Structure 1
């Protein structure tokens, strides 16, 4: 059995990845605030193993920690031939200059985009340290982590922190007997609710909003399904690994 723990699995990219991973030899565990009705109906129809751990990953650290422990409680780790954590959940907000962001805005952005994947990865590695099976963590990054965008200071900075975290943990794992492979994946722009949110803001808050609207208009956005296919290739065909 192959185990996949996916955050933000109720919609967008997370839901698309979960849908592609559902199968007779897999157990998918979604961590999100709500369930995906479509996923559950699909899993029920074919008898696939799907579990849901309810959690607002932008909440207190101990709630995030509880979520990963609950995810492990939902699976039979002794029956697993591989286990993968996909840190997908994220928020693009706040989309405005930093002086217009409240302290709560800033804290919430970093809680979901950086702190949550840090904690989930830490406890994932702790729980699987002695397992002699394939172990992977895929962290979903963004082009905003490499290039500064006016209005996306919180999002871009949190994703940059996630990049550095991934590289640092990869270095740590090099000295482990049974290392976890760290994978950093930067998807192309997707036609998701996050992109819709970007297009809805004022130019004064996000000067490049026109560029994002044009990308939607001319069809330059990939679907979540297309990006999920690329993640499948990462898992099964090629390895864009930070460590290997």
Structure 2
């Protein structure tokens, strides 16, 4: 049973990814700052397949130790899903420098360092899959999300270059860039604001976290063994 690490695993997209992986017979280590009730319930349903590590990626100094613990406890790592990220909404001119630093640290530095140490386990076995969760905002931009957009765009560059580095070790590296997703947060949107978002999509609706999780499953599968260095957009056609 292949081992997959999923960061930001307690809720939203990360939780959906964990659930779909378990249903597809993967073993999963979820990493998050806190364990949600829904994650706890999922653990009860999959006690031998789903595990949890509490970690705050503001702390980049101990990432190597985290990976060492996971490898020692659960074995070699086949897949890494870099999903954890922060997204402060604010105009750059009024954003505090500490928030800018935190976004860069959590959204760029932490996943790069995590990938550095996880990829060592993959190189030893000459197999592995690395999937970075990006955002269409990395390409399109969005008012009030300039720093967040910069971090997501940088991960696309990281993906393309790392794919070239690790290809000779039979490791693929890709990014999934979701659009506006149907979540508990967006369910609060009503009226013209929600309709304007839907109108951007040729399909006339928002994507779901399960849609994006399905793309993760595809990139982990044998069908995607020759896909690497690619940005896969899942947004119901909003940026087409």
Q: TM-score, normalised by structure 2?
A: 0.81
Partner SS, residue 125 of structure 2:
coil
Q: What residue number does 2:210 align with?
A: 225
The 5-angstrom pairing of residues 57-96 of structure 1 reads 57=57, 59-77=58-76, 83-93=78-88, 95-96=89-90
* Structure 2, gaps ≥5 residues long: 231-240
Q: Is the 8 A contact 1:191 1:216 kept in 2?
A: no
Q: CA deviation at 1:49?
A: 1.4
Partner SS, residue 150 of structure 1:
coil
Q: CA deviation at 1:91?
A: 1.5
Q: 1:65 to 1:196 in 2, by over 3 A?
A: farther
Q: 1:164 to 1:37 in 2, by over 3 A?
A: same
- How many angstroms apart in 1 are the aligned matches of 2:212 and 2:37? 21
- How many angstroms apart in 2 are the aligned matches of 1:186 and 1:24? 22
Q: What residue number does 1:236 align with?
A: 221
Partner SS, residue 50 of structure 2:
strand
Cα displacement string for residues 8-67 of structure 1 (whole angstroms, at most 9, x for unaligned residues): 00000000010111158421001101123333333333544111111111x131133333
Aligned pair count? 223
The 5-angstrom pairing of residues 1-244 of structure 1 reads 1-23=1-23, 25-57=25-57, 59-77=58-76, 83-93=78-88, 95-132=89-126, 134-174=127-167, 176=168, 178-192=169-183, 214-215=196-197, 220-236=205-221, 238-239=223-224, 240-242=227-229
- How many angstroms apart in 2 are the aligned matches of 1:120 and 1:212? 36
Moved more, 123-132 or 134-143: 123-132
Q: TM-score, normalised by structure 1?
A: 0.80
Cα displacement string for residues 131-157 of structure 1 (whole angstroms, at most 9, x for unaligned residues): 13x301000111111123221111100
Q: 1:212 to 1:99 in 2, by over 3 A?
A: farther
- How many angstroms apart in 1 are the aligned matches of 2:81 and 2:31? 10
Partner SS, residue 186 of structure 1:
strand
- How many angstroms apart in 1 are the aligned matches of 2:154 and 2:47? 39
Partner SS, residue 4 of structure 1:
strand
Q: CA deviation at 1:172?
A: 1.3
